[in-house]
Structure 1
Amino acid sequence: MAEAFVKSKLRDDKVTLFVKDGCPYCRNAMETLKPYNFRPECLQVCNITGMQSVQEYLWQTTGQNTVSVFIGRRCIGGFCELQNIHYRLPFVLQQIGALQSLR
């Protein structure tokens, strides 16, 4: 059930964050992505507060206890890993087709 839930939220051209209420790492990850001009439905924030089976599944499969950041269908890690690729982030987001075209 938890695996199906997580996989249903992922898409090749989308960034998906799995977050919990009150988590500063989750809040910071969302703030990091806020300036980007995402195409509609290409940035999704899934609040998994109280969804223990989903939290356990993400912990087992990604090793993340707080925010899990997926770019496309691949988990890059959490907030620290998102920070580590900040200089490449515009290129990566453009490459998967998540950003609006500049005109």
Structure 2
Amino acid sequence: MAQQFVQAEIQGDKVVLFVKPTCSYCITAQNVLSKYKFKPGHLKSIDISARADMANLQEYFLELTGARTVPRVFIGEECVGGGSDVEALHKSGKLESMLQSIGALR
């Protein structure tokens, strides 16, 4: 069930963040991504903290990405890691080209 949910959300042309609202790394990732001009519907944050299957989702993240922590940030179907990873990609200039390569930016 968790696997189908995640796979349905991570499509090739979207950026999806799986987050918890109180997580500082989640806020960092959201702040970095807010600097970019996304096409409508191409950036999505999913709060997993209220979901009954949260533990299952985090177990699936571990299996899929090697970590169960949030945020799990997917650019298209590729997980690029968490908040500090997104920040590092932004600072190095790689994030913008990754976002452009999936057609997520205006």
Decide: shared fold, TM above 0.5. Answer: yes
Give the alignment of 1:25-44 within 5 angstroms.
25-44=25-44
**CA shift for structure 1 position 33:** 0.3
Amino acid across the alignment from 2:35:
P
**CA shift for structure 1 position 2:** 0.4
* Map of 1:75 onto structure 2: 79
Distance 1:59 1:66 in 2: 11
Unaligned runs of 5+ in 1: none
Give the root-mean-square deviation of aligned CA atoms.
Answer: 1.2
Give the alignment of 1:14-53 within 5 angstroms.
14-50=14-50, 51-53=54-56
Distance 1:55 1:48 in 2: 9
Distance 2:14 2:38 in 1: 9
Q: How many residues align?
A: 100
Unaligned runs of 5+ in 2: none
Greater fraction of residues in helix:
2
Distance 1:28 1:64 in 2: 18
Amino acid across the alignment from 1:5:
F
Amino acid across the alignment from 1:76:
V
TM-score of the aligned structures, taking structure 1 as reference length:
0.90
Any runs of at least 4 consecutive aligned residues in structure 1 with deviations exceeding 4 A, and if so which?
A: none
